[in-house]
Structure formats: C-alpha cells, structure tokens
Amino acid sequence: MIIAIHNNVVLKKKIQNEHNGIYMPNAKDESFVVLNVGELVKNIKVNDEVILNLNPKSFMLDGKTYYITSVENIIAKVEDQNE
C-alpha cells in the first residue's frame, strides 16, 4: 500500500463503465479518484473524484498504475448531481 505524506495525494485514474460492459480508463476528462491523502491535506478525502491542473507523477506498483501529486495541483472536485 502507498501512504501519502505531507501535502501529497495518491490517485488512480477514474474508471468508466462502457456500454459494452468493458471497464476503461476515462480518457475524456482526465479525472482521478483519491486513494490516500497526506496528513496536511484538509479539503480532499479518499474516494473524491478530482480534476488536476498539471499531470501527476505516475508509477507502477504490483502491476497497477498509480499517480501522486501535491494537493495544490487539484483544481476541482467532481460531485454527483444526485447529491
């Protein structure tokens, strides 16, 4: 497991369910889902969907791609319209 420190956030690309039943990374809007936040992060929490200003650093762990960025790089949270 990856634990973010300080003001960093660990992310994964948002997965979208396509009509044919295949799960694909959402390539249209480059949104990410928050997996872990550092102790200095206050307004973002795990499972939030976020949009970034700049590309995050990507890395592989156990065959999966993860991303890490500073919280300052997050420019918006995506909220469900049904909430």
What predicted TM-score, i.e. pTM, was given to this entire model?
0.80
Question: pLDDT of 16-42, one tens digit each?
Answer: 665 555 555 544 457 999 999 999 999
Tell me the C-alpha distance between 33 and 49, whole Å.
Answer: 5
50 lies in some domain: yes
59 lies in some domain: yes
Tell me the C-alpha distance between 42 and 58, whole Å.
Answer: 23
What's the pLDDT at 79? 87
Number of independent structural domains in the chain = 1
Question: pLDDT of 51-71, one tens digit each?
Answer: 999 999 999 999 999 999 999
The whole domain housing 33 covers: 8-78
83 lies in some domain: no
3 lies in some domain: no
